[in-house]
Amino acid sequence: MNQNSLIQNYQSVINKVKQLSQQHRQSDSAVNLIAVSKTFPSADIRTLYEQGQRHFGENYIQEWTQKTIELADLDIEWHIIGQIQSNKSRIVAEKAAWVHTVDREKIAKRLSEQRPVNLPPLNVCIEVNTSGSDAKHGVNPSDVLALAQTIVTLPQLRLRGLMCVPSHMDDVVKLEQELALMQTLLQQLQAAGLAVDVLSMGMSADMEAAIAAGSTHVRIGSAIFGHRHYPA
């Protein structure tokens, strides 16, 4: 995409997020925008950085590693929003600010062990399977509290909240049920005494429903960068 269209898309997403967050909550608690740049070149990230964007989301560790090298001169907060295999956890622990997709104790422990002690704790969210289907990533709602209680004992992690990718994007009633479940689960963690306040939900297609349901961090890719072409 040419850089003018990219900037235009970005500005209109910013305005949309601002408008929706004012519409659905107090005007002072804004919704954070994570620009999801997977499959798009470092040059696009640099363009948005120059517009003031600091939070970028990436899914594929190998692709992202290359971008951290190309963009090492920028003060980017990287959000990992894809699955992390154990053998790729070290670079994440060293270079990311956030991981949204923690879904098992083993990966949480590795990330904590590998997080350099001179860095602030890695911000993490637990990915929840809100769909009720086995095929989806994330932990089952009934297992969220136990995993959360483990994560808060890990010194180099800071549990921030919950993340989901709803499965019912085109069925509004089911979508809203999945998003509402997230709010319920977050309150359950708070009732158990955990200091969590993040709901990472909302993509290009469900941004409005997610913000209405209390999202604090939307992860927007194609509405900013355009249609993705995955390498074969």
Counting contacts by CB under 6 A, is residue 32 touching ligand PLP? Answer: no
Counting contacts by CB under 6 A, is residue 17 touching ligand PLP? Answer: no
Looking at 71-79, 114-122, 143-151, 197-205, which segment touches ligand PLP (CB under 6 A)? 197-205
Looking at 5-13, 170-178, 190-198, 214-222, which segment touches ligand PLP (CB under 6 A)? 214-222
What is the distance between the alpha carbons of residues 73 and 62, in angstroms, rounded to a whole number?
19
Residues 67, 95, 110, 219: which binds ligand PLP (CB under 6 A)? 219
Residues 31, 203, 209, 211: which binds ligand PLP (CB under 6 A)? 203
User: 128 near 138, Cβ under 8 Å?
Assistant: yes
Counting contacts by CB under 6 A, is residue 167 touching ligand PLP? Answer: no
Q: How far is the CB of 204 from ligand PLP (least distance, A)?
A: 3
In the complex with ligand PLP, the residue whose CB is nearer, 18 or 156, is 18
What is the distance between the alpha carbons of residues 42 and 70, in angstroms, rounded to a whole number?
7
Counting contacts by CB under 6 A, is residue 61 touching ligand PLP? Answer: no
In the complex with ligand PLP, the residue whose CB is nearer, 51 or 190, is 51
In the complex with ligand PLP, the residue whose CB is nearer, 45 or 165, is 165
What is the distance between the alpha carbons of residues 174 and 132, in angstroms, rounded to a whole number?
11
Counting contacts by CB under 6 A, is residue 166 touching ligand PLP? Answer: no
Q: Residue 230 class from Cβ within 10 Å (0-12 exposed, 13-18 middle, 19+ buried)?
A: exposed
Task: Assign residue 24 a region (left: φ > 0; alpha: ψ between -120 and 50; beta: otherwise).
Answer: alpha
Q: How far is the CB of 38 from ligand PLP (least distance, A)?
A: 6
Tracing tokens 């919704």 back to the chain, one arrives at 31
According to DSSP, the residues that pair with 79 across neighbouring strands are: 57, 98
Degrees (nearest 5) of the Cα angle 223, 207, 171? 110
What is the distance between the alpha carbons of residues 38 and 1, in angstroms, rounded to a whole number?
14
List phi, psi (to 5°) of 128. Answer: -105, 135
Counting contacts by CB under 6 A, is residue 59 touching ligand PLP? Answer: yes
Counting contacts by CB under 6 A, is residue 186 touching ligand PLP? Answer: no
Interacting residue ranges for ligand PLP, rule: CB under 6 A: 36, 38, 59, 81, 165, 203-205, 219-223
